[in-house]
Amino acid sequence: MAGKFLIDVTDPRFQTPQNADVIEFIRVKNPFAHSDVGSIIFDVAKTIPGAHAYSPAPRSFAYVVLHDDADRIVAIAFGQRGYGIRLAPASIDAAIAEGAVRAPEIGPDWVTFDPWDVKDKARREKIRKWSERAIADY
């Protein structure tokens, strides 16, 4: 893994027009994810039908994405505090009302939630709920 950009080891099945915005974010930012943030996606994927977690290099703390059966990426864990979720435009205002912030650095349909404290059950449930909405939106 040393010396590589994460985009170079990202599974090509995700490099599609439907994921262009988040793939460009990965290409530009080369994001790694704190294990606590990345583990949220692995946990969420186990609770939502049709949701799957993927990381190109989990042992190296690479970013982690949540995707649907069609490989559309709907969430990404990055950095120490980044949890981005892609939502349909009709869902964005409701997410913002619950503490999300727009994330134009990822794409126009993306918001971020602060995942800390990840041991806080209410916060984890909110992130799970909006991740489930993202799967349903697309």
Ranges of each domain in the chain: 14-137
What is the model's pLDDT at position 84?
97
DSSP-assigned beta bridge partners for residue 111: 85, 102
DSSP-assigned beta bridge partners for residue 32: 62
pLDDT averaged over every residue in the chain = 93
Confidence category of residue 114, pLDDT binned at 50, 70, 90: confident
Confidence category of residue 119, pLDDT binned at 50, 70, 90: low
Edge-to-edge strand list for the sheet holding 101-102? 52-54, 64-67, 73-78, 82-86, 110-113, 101-102
Kindly state the average pLDDT of the residues 87-112. Answer: 96
What is the model's pLDDT at position 69?
97
Is pLDDT of 61 > 70? yes
Q: What does the block give as tokens for 84?
A: 């981005």
Of the candidate ranges 15-19, 49-53, 71-75, 120-124, the one whose mean pLDDT is the lowest: 120-124
Kindly state the average pLDDT of the residues 12-17. Answer: 97
* 122 vs 28, higher pLDDT: 28
Kindly state the average pLDDT of the residues 98-114. Answer: 96
Whole-angstrom distance, CA of residue 65 vs CA of residue 105: 16
The 8-class DSSP code of residue 55 comes to: -
Which fold, 14-137? Answer: Aspartate Aminotransferase, domain 1 (3.90.1150)
